[in-house]
């Protein structure tokens, strides 16, 4: 059990609403973490302003300034490790990571992906769920492994797909749940209750089901 708040590095590429949900939960006293740094691969994004407004150090590592993925990831690791994080939280971070990077943070890096994994890894998840005529859609927080959007799920929230849904309306319904389940997963980790064990997530000493803990937001 962690006695003092764990140190978290949050990686972003954009608007940072998930980052904001973590900041808000932390400021409400619901998240025993110190957000030690926010790192963005894009300069000028709104997420960086959110961090600065909360007094959190920021780093911009612009991937366009590197001529290989390996060099970019190496620079990221050096920048991140200065802050000695216990956990890396990918919150809308839109770069594919090298095996070296993933291996360096195995068991202490999570991602949020807007689909009910293993459905729809990759991009345009809301459109794909609509086109498939799915009755349900949702979001997954998972540990990061080398497989893109394929690491062991920790928690999923399921939402309904409504008649006449647009991609935007569905995305908004999912995003609302993202802001619930990401702080929850980070809290479990911070409380020492959540671990990666092999290719499964373990909560309070029990292996979680393959899709993770399910929150049903369809009612
Ligand atoms: C979210 O939909 C997240 O699931 C996906 O990227 C989006 C990031 O949103 N990985 P934000 O930057 O947290 O607002």
- Would you say residue 1 has pLDDT above 80? no
Assign domain 1-105 to its CATH architecture.
3-Layer(aba) Sandwich (3.40)
As beta bridge partners, residue 213 has 155
Nearest CA to ligand 1 atom 6: 92
pLDDT tens by residue, 75-90: 999 999 999 999 999 9
What are the start and end residues of each CATH 3.40.50.170 domain in the chain?
1-105, 114-139+153-219
| DSSP codes, 151-206 | SPEEEEEEEEPPTT--HHHHHHHHHHHHHHHHHHHHHHHHTT-EEEETTEEEETTE
Which pLDDT score, from 0 to 100, does residue 150 have?
87
Number of the ligand 1 atom closest to the C-alpha atom of 91: 13
152: Cβ below 6 Å to ligand 1? Answer: no
Query: Around Cβ 99, how many Cβ atoms within 10 Å?
Result: 11
pLDDT at 142: 98
Residue pLDDT, tens place only, 139-153: 999 999 988 788 999
> In this prediction, what percent of the chain has a pLDDT beyond 70?
99
Q: Is the CB of 92 under 6 A from ligand 1?
A: yes
Task: Report residue 3's pLDDT band, with 50, 70 and 90 as the boundaries.
Answer: low
**Residue 165 clears pLDDT 70, i.e. is over it:** yes
Mean pLDDT of the chain: 96
Q: Which CATH class is domain 114-139+153-219?
A: alpha beta
**CA distances (Å), origin 88, targets 1, 101, 132, 167, 215:** 18, 11, 33, 29, 23
Q: Which of 1-15, 18-32, 105-119, 174-188 has the lowest mean pLDDT?
A: 1-15
71 pLDDT more than 60: yes
Q: What gap in Å lies between CA 110 and CA 128, rounded to an integer?
A: 23
pTM of the predicted model over 0.75: yes
């Amino acid at each position: 059990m962690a006695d003092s708040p764990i140190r978290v590095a949050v990686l972003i590429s954009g608007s940072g609403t998930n980052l904001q949900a973590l900041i808000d939960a932390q400021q409400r006293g619901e998240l025993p973490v110190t957000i030690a740094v926010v790192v963005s691969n894009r300069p000028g994004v709104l997420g960086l302003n959110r961090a600065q407004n909360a007094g959190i150090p920021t780093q911009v590592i612009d991937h366009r300034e590197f001529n290989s993925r390996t060099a970019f990831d190496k620079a990221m690791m050096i920048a991140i490790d200065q802050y000695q994080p216990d956990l890396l939280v990918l919150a809308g971070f839109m770069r594919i990571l090298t095996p070296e990077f993933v291996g360096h943070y195995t068991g202490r890096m999570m991602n949020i992906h807007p689909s009910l994994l293993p459905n729809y890894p990759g991009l345009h998840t809301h459109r794909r769920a609509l086109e498939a005529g799915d009755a349900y859609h949702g979001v997954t927080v998972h540990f990061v492994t080398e497989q893109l959007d394929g690491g062991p799920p920790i928690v999923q929230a399921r939402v309904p797909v409504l008649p006449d849904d647009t991609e935007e309306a569905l995305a908004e319904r999912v995003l609302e749940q993202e802001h619930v389940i990401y702080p929850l997963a980070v809290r479990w980790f911070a409380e020492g209750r959540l671990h990666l064990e092999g290719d499964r997530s373990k909560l309070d000493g029990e292996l979680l089901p393959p899709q993770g803990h399910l929150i049903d937001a369809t009612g």
